[in-house]
Amino acid sequence: MGFLQLEQVSKLYGEFAAVRDFDLEIERGEFISLLGPSGCGKTTTLQMIAGLVTPTNGRITLDGRDITREKPARRGLGVVFQSYALFPHMTVAQNVAFGLEMRKVAKAERDRQVAEILSLVKLTSLADRYPREMSGGQRQRVAIARALVIKPPVLLLDEPLSNLDAKLREEMQFELRRIQRVVGITTIMVTHDQAEALSISDRVVVMEGGKITQVDHPYSLYEHPKNNFISSFVGKSNFLAARAMNEATGVSLRVDNTDLKIPATGSYPGGELCLSVRPEKIRLTDPAGAMLHGPVSSRYFLGNHWLLSVSTPAGEISVAVANLGAPPPSEGDITGLTWNIEECRVLAAEQESALQ
């Protein structure tokens, strides 16, 4: 049994299911991200764990205790919202001490614990500042310190970094992970940013329309997405129409009257299929003998790599080319494209039209 467990948890608003049959076992000390597009039910799930929303069906247990209908205060979980919700008239130290005061912890012990946690989030020197005198990233650390100081069994984070600019956000992602590791606290974070979810989580839960579509370690999720929705939502992908020639020997990609044989890596449903190929898996080659070829229709320099779009009989194909010195072909140049066939995914075609 997981440390935190959700069994068949649903939340209905009238006929509408914001979350449906959510099943997940979370181990002690795990960092889990709930990832998905706006409205997929991430926040509702987090709020059901926090006790701010009551599930319509299902059961939530924490360390074996049924907390499904327990009041938020009794659960004692740490919650950090997007807005941080710091008390503006209190200093950093007072903000962090607040939860301990509520729990009637004696002053000397309170001071000790506040000092310890401020050191953990690297805010010792700013203990006497007010929130308005701090940057977004610093305020964010105060909010985390305030949630952690009461030593909650679980930390819940709702889009905690979304108010920060791109660079600070990236720094705070690693900082958040560092703090989580030091404390060893079981953490669940809501985000709609796939890079954020991949970079800091032990496991990512992808949601769509109130349901879980895949739960996996970041690398497996990226390399083995279950369907086209995940393939395009987690990273970028090219989708190529394909069809099964022979289920035993594999599928064949029909492009411009040429069949490219793709060896079987599993059993495929009959009929129309789709191949998902990541832009960074594609290599530029001589057009003769390449899997596909065509003119470069656009080329952008992005610092560590170039992003090319190539017009092929199979459609526009995006290719990410590492910046290793010489620039890749220019717009209008004809180039060949090739990739290791083991590195593309075979997916059911109907999911593509339904989910893209």
Binding site for ligand ATP (CB under 6 A): 13, 18, 36, 38-44, 192
β strands within 116-249, DSSP E: 154-158, 186-191, 203-208, 211-216, 238-246
* Closest to ligand ATP by CB, 44 or 237: 44
The answer to whether 347 and 274 are in contact (CB under 8 A) is: yes
Q: Pull the structure tokens for residue 356.
A: 């893209």
Helix, coil or strand: residue 314: coil
Interatomic CA distance for residues 96 and 114, integer angstroms: 6
Helix, coil or strand: residue 164: coil
* Closest to ligand ATP by CB, 43 or 309: 43
State in angstroms the smallest separation of the CB of 34 from ligand ATP: 8
Q: Pull the structure tokens for residue 133.
A: 């005198």
* Closest to ligand ATP by CB, 48 or 346: 48
State in angstroms the smallest separation of the CB of 38 from ligand ATP: 3
State in angstroms the smallest separation of the CB of 112 from ligand ATP: 37
Say which amino acid occupies 283: R
State in angstroms the smallest separation of the CB of 209 from ligand ATP: 9
Q: Which helix (H) or strand (E) holds 274?
A: strand 272-277
Nearest by Cα to 86 from 152, 163, 151: 163
State in angstroms the smallest separation of the CB of 24 from ligand ATP: 15
The answer to whether 134 and 119 are in contact (CB under 8 A) is: no
Which residues lie across from 273 on neighbouring strands?
242, 348
* Closest to ligand ATP by CB, 84 or 239: 84
* Closest to ligand ATP by CB, 13 or 219: 13
State in angstroms the smallest separation of the CB of 77 from ligand ATP: 17
Helix, coil or strand: residue 310: strand
State in angstroms the smallest separation of the CB of 23 from ligand ATP: 17
Q: How many helices (H) and strands (E) does the chain have?
A: 10, 20
Interatomic CA distance for residues 108 and 294, integer angstroms: 72
Sheet with 16-26, strands from edge to edge, namely 16-26, 4-13, 57-62, 65-66
* Closest to ligand ATP by CB, 38 or 304: 38
Interatomic CA distance for residues 124 and 196, integer angstroms: 27
* Closest to ligand ATP by CB, 29 or 72: 72
State in angstroms the smallest separation of the CB of 36 from ligand ATP: 6
* Closest to ligand ATP by CB, 114 or 208: 208
